[in-house]
Structure 1
Amino acid sequence: MLYIYTIVYCLLIAPALSLLPDDDSSCYHRCFHQHAEACPPPGSLCRCRQLPNCKRAAVCCDVNKFTLTEGLGCGNISSDGLVEALHIRNATLDVLNITHPVWRRLRFMTITDGQIKQVVGEFAKHTIVSCLNLSSNGIQKFEPRSLVNLFNLSYLDLSNNNLTDVPRFKMEGAVTLDISQNPSMLCSSVKDILSRPEISFNNENSTTCSSAKTFQWFNSTEFLAISQLKLLHELEKNCFGKCTCEPYRLDMVMGKSPTFAVEVNCSGVKFENKLTSLPTPLPPRTVLLDISNNNITSLKELSDPSYQYLTYLYADNNQISSIQPLEGTAFMNNFESLSLRNNNIKTIETYLLSNIKFYRTAEPRHIKLGLNKLHCDCQTAMEFKVWLLTKIHRVPDYNEIVCENINAKVVELDQTKLCQGDQDWTDYIYYIITAEVLLLVGLIAKVSYDYWVFKTAGYLPWPASKMPKLPCDWLCE
């Protein structure tokens, strides 16, 4: 039995053991990284050395442009491929030139805790680097094609630098990216990365970007977390139909994370098949909706709960026939701008407009109703015209609201012409009532005068003396 075990060991187990690396497995995790204790002694003339406990690995420390070149030579770190993992600590370089032939044969390349302003050059084609760690160096800029040839790249660590943009790297394949602690990183650059679903982020919770200069999203320098930026990306990707959904502004409340308000553009200029109704549901916190140039006939969808934050509605050039659906909606309490130009509105419910508190919001409210042809009558002249004249500064296009049945602008309507029949009848009633009151007053005065004459002179004046006696006269006698 022992003989059989010996044969099995010699034929199977021993060869397998001989293939196992003799280095410390702790050397390689995701990337090759060594602590300061692994550096050459402070007095060593050669600032690079290969590590005895890590197979085909080396470390360089406290180098500049010249001592790095010397260290690679005296440390026997060359382009022959014998060293596949290299960690350079505390390098002080104005520029890091990555065209060096040594880098081409590395699988793990780590340069950390240094002072490097810029990365120049371009990794050579067929460079096999799979993990590149350039964190904590203060790097401000990469040349455009520096990393594009790293086709084996699976992990890229650019954290703790001063980058404003994510440098270009391989266009296909999964890559784990760490860009945390880059205070000047612009969201516009990070947003481009989010369009690649195979890219994942390391240290996502501590990764933020500056909202300044990002597609004119926000006029601020507030920082957005990657989670918020992902929401923006999902917002654009899952927008209603052919509409476009974009952030409109950044809302900041003390003690809370910034949130963004949304703008939805469904203008029919871009559509072959125009909308016939308002889009529902709207994305969360939508404050602006543009549905101009469509075939929408009603505003009834404004009562949908997803419209609760809406404050700007632009619905010009549609077929909307009434503003009645606005009544009782949250929009009427919150809106700052409502534009219904060039629709099919024939009647304006003045009572609805009269309930608007124009100074309730932070910004002055405005309503546009121009190019609608109303059916003008006495009510239009007496109610809507009067309202319009008192709110001219809130209705910028008041001069373009015209009548359908007569050739006139609403603000120029003449009440005496439109309300002529009703006004004359009312005047006659007033005249009759006035005459009756006067006659009653005269009659009372005459009776009082006759009574006074009768009591003082003993006779009745004319015509009371000529009137026949009535059955009730005995009451007076």
Structure 2
Amino acid sequence: MLLRVFKTFLLLSLAQAATTGVTLRNHNKTDGFDGPCLLSEYTNRASCTLYNEVLLCARGFTSNWLTKARYHLISHLKILEWPGYCVNVGHLQSHFPYLRTLDIINSTILKIFKGNFDSSSKIEKITMHDLTSLWEVPASLVENMRHLQVLDLRNNSLRHMKENLIRGPPVLETVYLANNNWDCSDGGLDWLAIENENGTVRNKLADYYQLMCHQQLYRGKPLYKVMDIIRTVKQTCPEMCVCAMTHVVSDAKGTLIPLITANCTEKDLEHPPASLPPSTTTLRLEGNKLTSIGELVQNPQYQTLMDLYLDNNSIQSVKEWEGSEWFSTFRVLSLRGNLLKQIPVYAFDKAFQGNNNIMHVFLGHNPWRCDCHFIPRFQGLLLKYKRVIRDLMDIRCARSDDKTISYVQISTMALGDVCRNSDVNMPISTINIVNLVLLMLILIVVGRFVYDWHKFRATGKLPWISSILP
């Protein structure tokens, strides 16, 4: 007797700990519990009442219902406030083989089902309500039940569900799933996305349009809308890429706007994908064989991108972005590990200055040209936007025979190391020559005006040019 009391106390303590924050590694898995999970463990505080073939048992089963062969009287079993976190349904079926209806209600500690109902089960309806510690009902629990017609799983804390839970039972007609904490991401209910609107599974879900997503990415969003978006992403994702909806937001009208990531890394691509899923905001093209950004600029589908990762390709020039609308709206741009020697500094400065979305830019591990024509302007850009350009330590001069500049960090290098001796005599461009000529002419005109003004004040004689004008 003392041993039984001790075991009961121990199990109740474990169950209480589970409800206050102890999370089991195999939560809601039939193989996650190695104990006996016996129906006879909770008889001390149990009470059972029989009326019209309905047996109602609270806080366990009384010993008389587990020892006497009166199971033929029971067609409907109601289990209330089950005190443990495990129920052995195999034992339940053997004790009550003639059940037609099974209700498990308000069992807030229950989180594991051990065993499963086999093909001899006569149960036609299962109801589970207010099982607030239950994350998942294993498909194996019911998939062999030949007579199950209704499965009511409303008002629990279910997060995941396997397809076979609904598809498995051969005569299952109606399933209720509302008011649960459904996880709409991969591994949760994402398999519903590939189910046709009039498919077998969808037709069995009586409250499909009432289901809500509860995990952080899609919290509070209607499940059917999220599934529609996931379906579109799966159908429009390029074959060589992996696409996922990383987040979803709502606009002022309540329309869901998905944030899609297309991951096409290390696929030996020489050209970017010709198309992307609608609303793709992040594109990862690292580790491919791209040599140009021309197709990225010209393809209108790329204009909605916010984050673009082009690391470890063979891109030599980015001048196509000069004047591009996308270049003034992007959020993240990564060009690490390419073959860039220089960039149009003025275009980058203008785009960065007018871009209110910009967060991160990465330019490291490129063979930057370090001469007096490029470095002063490039260094000024790096220092001006050092809060945005996040890898300044990796932005270095290319390998050179000149040890004073070889692999030197550009943002901190002394300009005297690149602008010395003959390097200072930078070639004068045509536009600068024109500007110098104009400056000289202006100085001549101003000087002549000052001379004539002084002469007029001293002699009262007008300048020669004034005397011949009509």
- Output the amino acid matched with 2:290: I
Q: State the secondary structure of the residue aligned to 2:233.
A: helix
Q: State the secondary structure of the residue aligned to 1:262.
A: strand
C-alpha distance in 2, partners of 1:170/1:433?
87
Contact 1:339 1:368 (C-alpha < 8 Å) held by counterparts: yes
C-alpha distance in 2, partners of 1:190/1:156?
22
**Aligned match for 1:414, one of 412, 415, 419:** 419
C-alpha distance in 2, partners of 1:162/1:442?
93
C-alpha distance in 2, partners of 1:342/1:206?
49
Asked whether 1:244 is paired with 2:242, we answer yes
Structure 1 match to 2:17: none
Asked whether 1:151 is paired with 2:144, we answer yes
Contact 1:205 1:226 (C-alpha < 8 Å) held by counterparts: yes
The correspondence of residues 33-44 of structure 1 with structure 2, limited to 5 A, is none
Contact 1:293 1:316 (C-alpha < 8 Å) held by counterparts: yes
**Aligned match for 1:393, one of 384, 387, 390:** 387
Deviation at 1:129, TM superposition (A): 4.9
Deviation at 1:148, TM superposition (A): 3.7
C-alpha distance in 1, partners of 2:210/2:67?
35
Greater shift, 293-302 or 228-237, is seen at: 228-237
- Output the amino acid matched with 1:116: S
Deviation at 1:249, TM superposition (A): 2.7
Contact 1:135 1:158 (C-alpha < 8 Å) held by counterparts: yes
Structure 2 match to 1:256: 254
**Aligned match for 1:202, one of 203, 206, 209:** 206
Larger radius of gyration: 1
Q: Which residues of structure 1 form unaligned runs of 5+?
A: 1-44, 51-58, 213-217, 456-474
Deviations 1:217-238 (A, max 9, x none): x3x8545514414533663576
Deviations 1:329-374 (A, max 9, x none): 4422321211112222344223321321447435x53322223335
Deviation at 1:245, TM superposition (A): 1.6
Deviations 1:107-145 (A, max 9, x none): 843426x33342644235443457442243435338987
Deviations 1:266-310 (A, max 9, x none): 111xx4xx1111223122222211111110122223443332331
Deviation at 1:97, TM superposition (A): 4.5
Indicate the RMSD between aligned Cα atoms, in angstroms. Answer: 4.9
TM-score of the pair, normalised by structure 1: 0.62
C-alpha distance in 1, partners of 2:117/2:381?
75
Higher normalized contact order (CA 8 Å, seq sep 6+, divided by chain length): 2
- Output the amino acid matched with 2:280: T
Deviations 1:207-263 (A, max 9, x none): 123113xxxxx3x85455144145336635763223222232332445515543112
Would you say how many aligned residue pairs link Structure 1 and Structure 2? 382
Structure 1 match to 2:275: 281
C-alpha distance in 1, partners of 2:337/2:376?
23
Change (3 A) 1:448 1:204: closer
Q: State the secondary structure of the residue aligned to 1:182.
A: coil
How many percent identity over aligned positions? 17
Structure 2 match to 1:305: 300
Change (3 A) 1:422 1:403: farther
C-alpha distance in 2, partners of 1:333/1:443?
49
Asked whether 1:191 is paired with 2:180, we answer no
Q: State the secondary structure of the residue aligned to 1:116.
A: coil
Structure 2 match to 1:341: 336
Structure 1 match to 2:310: 315
Deviation at 1:196, TM superposition (A): 8.6
Change (3 A) 1:195 1:266: same
C-alpha distance in 1, partners of 2:68/2:163?
29
Q: Which residues of structure 2 form unaligned runs of 5+?
A: 1-47, 462-467
Contact 1:48 1:75 (C-alpha < 8 Å) held by counterparts: no
C-alpha distance in 1, partners of 2:392/2:71?
84
**Aligned match for 2:177, one of 159, 180, 193:** 180
Q: State the secondary structure of the residue aligned to 2:83.
A: strand
Q: State the secondary structure of the residue aligned to 1:100.
A: helix
